[in-house]
Amino acid sequence: MLLQLRRSRAPLHRQIYEALKSGIREGKYRPGTRLPSTRALCADLGVSRNTVMSAYEQLLAEGYAISRERATTVVADVVAPRRADAAVAEPQAFAPPRLSAWAERLTRDPSMPPAGSYTHRAGVRIDFRYGRPALDEFPLDIWRRLLAAHAKRPGRDSLGYATPAGHAPLREALAEYLNRARGLRCDAEQIVICNGSQQAIDLATRVLLDPGDAAVVEEPHYTGATVPIEAIGARLIRIATDAQGLDTSQLPASSSRARLAYVTPCHQFPSGVIMPLERRLALLDWAARTDVWIVEDDYVSEFRYEGSPLEALQALDRHGRVIYVGTFAKTLFPALRLAYLVLPRALVRPFIAAKWVADRFSTLLPQAALAEFIASGQFERYLRRAGLRNAARRRTLIHSLQQHFGDRIEIAGENTGVHLVVWFNHVRPQQLDALIARAASAGVGLYSVAPYYANPLPRAGLLFGYASLSEADIRAGVRKLASLVA
């Protein structure tokens, strides 16, 4: 019996085990066949006997071989030998896997799962992708010290299981910050820490919606909300937005079976429109009358460039209908994967139960570091610096666009956040994909706003993220775009 070993970095005993196992599964060594003695095999292969014995012990442990009298090892009668013609047989066509209704709905959209939606694009040097923060102002040295300090002195509970609600000091620091800076009315017991705002939205859909229920969403919309809503089997009721955000006069009656409304009132995504007080109060009144929960995604309200940050919808809520979602992906960095829910008291227990089922709890070390980062004042100091930096980059982007395009464009959503939308009056929507491809070839990353609209658009629009770009890169990118459009 000759054993062929492949060149591999794996240990020798593992290579011998894999070679023998493959021979057994492929029918080269049939059931009852005696395997060579360990002495003979180690002599043939030029390896130590202990190496061969380790391989045989693994075969015996997994049931591929059995040991008989006088230390004889034979192939076990458990693996049916493959037919001789199996290697040349045509591959068998298998039926699609049977999935749950949830998985079927989730994968019906060909864009799911997103492929490399935030990864670096080869050849693109100036990337206007939305959602990428800048790290040039972030105090990385302080953050590293906080992480290292908490890693060096782990508490008794920090290396075990934790509460699904999240690290208590972080929830306390958040409650104090949100009450003071965002005007929220909450305490630490109402806060649940999540792995990003996407998990927060997913938990809300699972806790509050059943198949057949309806959910109100803005149009244009955030796909991170519409996808999990439809996957759960709920219907979307799309309400158009105008220059004042969601048109509350179009909200459905209670007979629609609406159970949830997802809104971005402080900076509508993607249009950037801000919902005024009158409509906010109308939305809250409708929710109280129709027994609808409101999910307020306050994803980037900390960055406002004209006046102070707007009051959150939750701060106006007198009926306990608002579920507030906050995230650190835009203010700090996405890889932190920490966000939070501020819940009405009646929903705290079911959301904590849903979080426990989803993943037990969010990892503790970054929570501990973030709690100290917030409580020490570093978080707000960083926000002030980042706000000034973003404001300068926003001004540069707007000035460059107006300089090169003039009245051929319209700019929206420029007063808050870290992105704006640019409508091109003389570019047809059908031309946009080709323009984006040409720009990528020229080293500039551009992104259409069309995926956030349910219906085809009458004109071409691009979504410009600017937080991660220098002012020089912004000017160079817009100049390159202008030459391509021309």
Query: 180 pLDDT exceeds 60?
Result: yes
Q: Answer for the pair 312, 266: CB distance below 8 angstroms, yes or no.
A: yes
Are 335 and 408 in the same domain? no
Quickly state the pLDDT bin for 7 (edges 50, 70, 90). low
What's the pLDDT at 335?
A: 92
- pLDDT tens-digit readout, 297-322: 999 888 888 766 678 999 999 999 99
What is the C-alpha to C-alpha distance for residues 285 and 291, in angstroms, rounded to an integer? 10
CB atoms within 10 A of CB 243: 9
Query: 422 pLDDT exceeds 70?
Result: yes
What is the C-alpha to C-alpha distance for residues 448 and 426, in angstroms, rounded to an integer? 15
Both structure tokens of 88: 């040349």
Has residue 195 been placed in a domain? yes
Cβ partners under 8 Å of residue 471, min gap 6: 392, 393, 396
Has residue 99 been placed in a domain? no
The domain total for the chain is 3
Are 330 and 418 in the same domain? no
Has residue 93 been placed in a domain? no
Are 262 and 402 in the same domain? no
Query: 122 pLDDT exceeds 90?
Result: no
Q: Say which CATH number the domain at 153 has.
A: 3.40.640.10
How many H helices and E strands in the chain? 15, 15
What's the pLDDT at 315?
A: 95
Cβ partners under 8 Å of residue 27, min gap 6: 81, 82, 83, 84
Average pLDDT, stretch 282-304? 94
Are 197 and 326 in the same domain? yes
- Residue span of the structural domain in which 50 resides: 12-75
Phi, psi dihedrals of residue 257, rounded to the nearest 5° = 65, 25
Has residue 327 been placed in a domain? yes
Are 358 and 388 in the same domain? no
CA dihedral for 19, 24, 28, 31, sign (positive or negative): positive
What's the pLDDT at 90?
A: 57
- pLDDT tens-digit readout, 58-69: 988 988 988 887
Query: 339 pLDDT exceeds 60?
Result: yes
Q: What is the three-state SS of 105-137?
A: HHHCCCCCCCCCCCCCCCCCCEECCCCCCCCCC
Last residue of a domain, one of 360, 379, 398: 379
- pLDDT tens-digit readout, 440-485: 999 999 999 999 999 999 999 999 999 999 999 999 999 999 999 9
